[in-house]
Chains A and B, each alone.
Chain A
Amino acid sequence: MSLARNTRSRKAPGTPKPAKTAAKKTPTSKKSPTSKRTGRTEVPAAGPDAVHRMDLLAAMLRIRRFEERCVELYSAAKIRGFVHLYIGEEAVAVGVNEALYPEDAVVSTYREHGHALARGIPAEAVMAEMFGRTTGCSGGRGGSMHLFDASRRFYGGNAIVAGGLPLAAGLALADRMRDQPRVTCCFFGDGAFAEGEFHETANLAVLWNLPLLLVCENNLYAMGTALERHEAQTDLAMRAASYGMVAWAVDGMDVEAVEHAARRATEAIRGGAGPHFLEARTYRFRAHSMYDPDRYRDKEEIERWKTRDPVNQLMDRMREDDELGDEELTGIEHRVTDEVDRAVETAEQAPEEPVEDLLLHVTSAPAEAR
């Protein structure tokens, strides 16, 4: 059992990676060449790498621009339903995903555009899903809240707060029973702490020593209810640690700090250390959903958090270290905007599923056989 520890400093002590970790990583990693082109396995906090930082920045900007376009498309009634934006929280998805391998599993929530994009699901497939088209990553049956990609072991997209946690325990259990050195990463919000499923899962995970990384995105609000109004004890990492798992809190606005903490956790989990809990202290700049008038928080609070914008923070740091010039930034912005433009264009042109297919995928049997 370990006490909750705080790794909020981005200059956390760098632990040089053992050679075997590097050897293990290289053959299994099939991530996009851009994010892995340095071949480095050191955590950035141990020595920032300009190329790696550029990758982190591009990944966050990609999510940011994608969602900004979603706002426009929602206003234009091109996409509908509940749409929960991740703007402000990008550092968590990007930082954690850097620590995951393709064979790991990810379970997510209804605020999962960022997780899906960071996991490598093409923007075109995510956007087409928002449009409800057959080319969407869930065939148009899930929409914004239910993104899935079996080939990338991305298991949702769960709109029930804490509902994904037991599922994640099961994915991890399967890996453990078959001695697969894989990690299941489950994202959830601070609101999940009020649900029994969080506590049942934490208990089960420690009892069974499951290879599970629990990532709590503490954005201080469960829908419109502030943390101190929905939790009797607001120190979430401490509560998770009470189950006997290693639990850290980390600055969720600092992508490098998140990556560093996530790497430490996943390496420990792969080594058999059992479930780990990471509380990423973050903030969403937009309302809970597109329907939410956001009356429950002060504008000053939002503005104060915006000064800690994860994208701007990383850009400032890179500029300070002479790693980012206007030209590079323009280049990234162009690439990202092009990708989002293309995603919207292909989604608009993508076919809609015929109504005759309505009853498909209710069971695995053909519709007429049911």
Chain B
Amino acid sequence: MSADGQPEKAKTTYREAMREALREALSADDRVFLMGEDVGRYGGCFGVSLGLLEEFGPERVRDTPLSESAFVGAGIGAALAGMRPIVEIMTVNFSLLALDQIVNNAATLLHMSGGQLPVPLVIRMTTGAGRQLAAQHSHSLEGWYAHIPGIRVLAPATIEDARHMLAPALAEPDPVLIFEHGSLYNAAGELSPPATAVDIDHATIRRPGTDISLITYGGSLPKALAAADELSTEGINAEVVDLRTLRPLDDEAITATVARTHRAVIVDEAWRTGSLAAEISARIAEESFYELDAPVERVCSAEVPIPYARRLEEAALPQTADIVAAAHRAVG
């Protein structure tokens, strides 16, 4: 405890918070093991699992070949046999090599078996652009996974969620996909112990407001918060909603925020066509049509494979200025 009697806050990063979550999971339950590309000797493609091999050994921090389909499928099989695997895939782009296992097995076994075969598996991967990694390392395909019944899709946007979302994910009896935006790993801040458990059933409001709702998740949250700050200087009081769970979507939270502000901007780093932003827009049209004082705005990535060149990459992605501009259009 600090001198003022408040719990001490620890300086940490999103990366360290995630590592601490993994360490806690591996310590708490011997059925848990981490498996994936470079998670052991290398310390994780993004340094998340650095040191865990030394602590838990090569059986439980298990390096895999670059065989996404085989090691994701092996995670499914191990989960069926009573283990609690955490599978790491370097990026969502690579997860497409395991799409068959995720969609045809992980998401469907419970149903096809008439409820006999739950798959308690956690798959973590990075998503998103912003680091000049070009098209094959930069896409935001979490919306594709959110399309699929039978899996839960999470997007931790804050250090707190990075630290505390893994435990409830592991407690789920069904497959959970966790999307970590690559640009968040270095995000630093203070983590207050003891944090409450993260609620993975509901969206959360990161900033309350009255004039407009900025609905977003994951790597776009810091941009939405920055946009809200900028709007506040103009006297526009924006509410920022962090969806946190992309499937199942928290319909009630979306309806409630629109009922409060009557205007909505959806910020989603995926492409606009067929995106999660499209789904949320449709739900607002279905559920909240008469609450709206302006058309729903969407800020998404340009319809282009994400380019390498810095200036072009920045232009392709939703930026704070784009969110502010969309809000201006809505407020009119």
A150 touches B116 (CB 8 A): yes
Q: How far is the CB of A6 from chain B (nearest CB, A)?
A: 28
The closest CB in chain A to the CB of B72 belongs to: A166
8 cross-chain CB contacts under 8 A: A107-B77, A163-B100, A167-B77, A171-B80, A171-B81, A177-B78, A362-B150, A364-B173
Closest to B35 in A: A173
- B111 beta carbon closer than 8 Å to chain A: yes
- The answer to whether B109 and A166 touch across the interface, beta carbons within 8 angstroms, is no
Q: Are A174 and B67 in contact (CB under 8 A)?
A: no
Q: Across chains A and B, which 10 residue pairs bring their CB atoms closest together, nearest first?
A: A170-B77, A166-B73, A139-B114, A174-B81, A200-B70, A170-B74, A148-B113, A200-B67, A364-B173, A361-B115
| Pairwise interchain contact B65-A140, C-beta atoms closer than 8 A | no
A142-B114, A163-B101 as given contacts; A169 in contact with B70, CB under 8 Å = yes
Closest-CB distance, B130 to chain A (whole angstroms)? 31
The B29-88 residues at the A interface (CB cut-off 8 A) are: 33, 59, 64-65, 67, 69-83, 85
**Contact B110–A167 (Cβ < 8 Å):** no
B248 interface residue (CB < 8 Å to A) = yes
In the assembled complex, B112 has its CB within 8 A of some CB on chain A? yes
Q: How many chain B residues touch the partner (CB < 8 A)?
A: 42
Per-residue CB proximity of A181-222 to B under 8 Å, as 1/0? 000100000000000110011011001000000000000000
Determine if B81 and A156 form an interchain contact, defined as CB atoms under 8 angstroms apart. no
Is the Cβ of A148 less than 8 Å from the Cβ of B69?
no
A363 close to B (CB within 8 Å): yes
A306 close to B (CB within 8 Å) = no
Query: In the bound complex, do residue B116 and residue A364 qualify as a contact, i.e. CB atoms below 8 Å apart?
Result: no
Distance to closest chain B CB from A363 (angstroms)? 5
Name A204's contact: one of B65, B83, B101, B112 (CB within 8 Å): B65
Task: Report yes or no: A362 in contact with B149, Cβ–Cβ below 8 A.
Answer: yes
| Dominant secondary structure of chain A at its interface with chain B | mixed
Do A173 and B78 form a contact, CB below 8 Å, given A364-B173, A370-B248? Answer: yes
B70 partner, pick from A136, A155, A166, beta carbons under 8 A: A166
Does A61 sit at the interface, judged by CB under 8 A? no
Cβ–Cβ < 8 Å partners of A362 in chain B: 110-111, 149-150
Q: Is B163 in the interface zone, CB < 8 Å from A?
A: no
> Does chain A have a CB within 8 A of B117?
yes
Give the residue of A166, A177, A203, A204 whose beta carbon is less than 8 angstroms from that of B76: A166
Are A138 and B116 in contact, with the CB atoms below 8 A? yes
CB contacts (< 8 Å) of B67 on chain A: these are 200, 203-204
Q: Find out whether the CB atom of B114 lies under 8 angstroms from the CB atom of A148.
A: yes
Contact B65–A203 (Cβ < 8 Å): yes
B-contact 0/1 string along A139-183, CB 8 Å cutoff: 111100010111000011111100101111111111101000000
Knowing A166-B70, A177-B59, A197-B73, the reply to whether A361 touches B114 (Cβ < 8 A) is yes
Q: Give Cα distance in the complex from A167 to B73, angstroms.
A: 5
- Measured CA separation A149–B59 after assembly (Å): 29
Q: What is the bound-complex CA distance between A159 and B108, given in angstroms?
A: 12
Q: Is B152 an interface residue (CB 8 A)?
A: yes
B104 CB–A CB distance under 8 Å: yes
Tell which of B70, B72, B104, B118 touches A203, judged by Cβ atoms closer than 8 Å: B70
A166-B71, A362-B111 known; 15 new pairs, CB 8 Å cut-off, are A138-B112, A140-B114, A148-B117, A156-B113, A163-B101, A165-B70, A166-B70, A170-B75, A170-B81, A174-B77, A197-B100, A200-B69, A200-B70, A361-B115, A362-B149
Interfacial residues, chain B to chain A (CB-CB below 8 A): 33, 59, 64-65, 67, 69-83, 85, 100-101, 104-105, 109-118, 149-150, 152, 172-174, 248
Contacts of B111 in A (CB 8 A): 141, 361-362
Q: Is the CB of A150 within 8 A of B75?
A: no
A298→B25 CA distance, assembly (Å): 59
Interface contact A141-B114, CB-CB below 8 Å: yes
Interface residues of A in 215-235 (CB under 8 A from B): none
Report how far A293 CA is from B112 CA in the complex, Å: 28
A196 touches B112 (CB 8 A): no
Chain A residues, Cβ within 8 Å of B74:
166-167, 169-170, 173, 204
A141 CA to B110 CA, complexed, in Å: 10
Task: A200 to B174: give the CA distance in the assembly, Å.
Answer: 25
A174 with B114: in contact, given A204-B70, A362-B150, A363-B152 (CB under 8 Å)? Answer: no
User: Are A163 and B78 in contact, with the CB atoms below 8 A?
Assistant: no
Question: Which residues of chain B are within 8 angstroms of A59 by Cβ–Cβ distance?
Answer: none
Q: Quick check: is A117 within 8 A (CB to CB) of the other chain?
A: no
Are the C-beta atoms of B113 and A150 separated by less than 8 Å?
Answer: yes
CB pair B81 A196 closer than 8 Å: no
The closest CB in chain A to the CB of B108 belongs to A146
Please determine whether B65 and A160 come into contact, CB atoms closer than 8 angstroms. Answer: no
CB-CB nearest in chain A for B59: A177
State A157–B80 Cα separation when bound (angstroms): 15
In the assembled complex, the Cα of A141 lies from the Cα of B77 at a distance in Å of: 20
Q: What is the CA–CA distance of A31 and B111 in the complex, to the nearest angstrom?
A: 28
A307-339 CB contacts (< 8 Å) to partner B: none
Bitwise interface map of A from 99 to 132 toward B, beta carbon under 8 Å scored 1, else 0: 0000001010000000000000000000000000
Residue of B65, B80, B118 touching A364 (CB-CB under 8 A): B118
Closest Cβ–Cβ distance, residue A176 to chain B (whole Å) = 9
Chain A residue numbers with a CB within 8 Å of B112 are: 138, 141-142, 146, 148, 156-157
Task: Give the distance in Å from the alpha carbon of A112 to the alpha carbon of B149 in the complex.
Answer: 26
A360 at interface (Cβ–Cβ under 8 A)? yes
Contact of B70 with A364 in the complex, beta carbons under 8 Å = no
Cα distance, A295 to B59, chains bound together (Å): 51
Instruction: Kindly report which residue of chain A lies nearest to residue B121, judged by CB atoms.
Output: A170
Pick from B73, B104, B152: contact of A170, CB under 8 Å: B73
